[in-house]
Amino acid sequence: MPACPVKLSRRKNSVLNGINMITVYGIKNCDTVKKALKWLDLKNIDFQFRDVRNEPVEATDIARWLCHLEADKLINKSSTTWRSLSDADKAMAAAGKITDLLLAHPTLMKRPLIEGDGILHIGFKEADWTALFAV
């Protein structure tokens, strides 16, 4: 992983590159994202939702995530989007061009991805989120 200037620290009112609220990245019609958003609502956790189809991520977002996550955890290789990619596009992942690939195909991102308050996590499992948010 590249050296990362952004540290993940969890403390009251912590800020991660200007992020002081949980942001949930995903697509609105994803069942897992729907479950995650419902869970956050039930736990009264403030968040903002960012649909990556309507509001694509930027290269700086991806670079920040890659500082703390392995590239293969960021790409959903079992998705419909992945299966529909050309061999040349799939080769981009193997060549480490994850940023370019996600900019071109934002729905390749595993989801939900949550970021903020010192948290950077992919996927939704209730037990994991309960531990992450200490609820």
Q: Which domains does the chain show, CATH number per domain?
A: 22-31+44-133 (3.40.30.10)
Interatomic CA distance for residues 25 and 32, integer angstroms: 12
Starting at the earlier edge strand, list the strands of the sheet with 113-116: 47-51, 22-26, 113-116, 119-122
The answer to whether the beta carbons of residues 13 and 117 sit under 8 Å apart is no
Which residues of the chain have a pLDDT value below 50? 1, 9-19
Read off the amino acid at residue 108: L
Interatomic CA distance for residues 133 and 128, integer angstroms: 9
Place of tokens 């920040």: 64
**pLDDT for position 102:** 93
Q: From the candidates 6, 8, 14, 30, which is the catalytic residue?
A: 30
Q: Which of 97, 132, 128, 126 is nearest to 39 (CA)?
A: 126
**pLDDT for position 10:** 44
**pLDDT for position 19:** 43
Instruction: Reply yes or no on whether 4 is catalytic.
Output: no
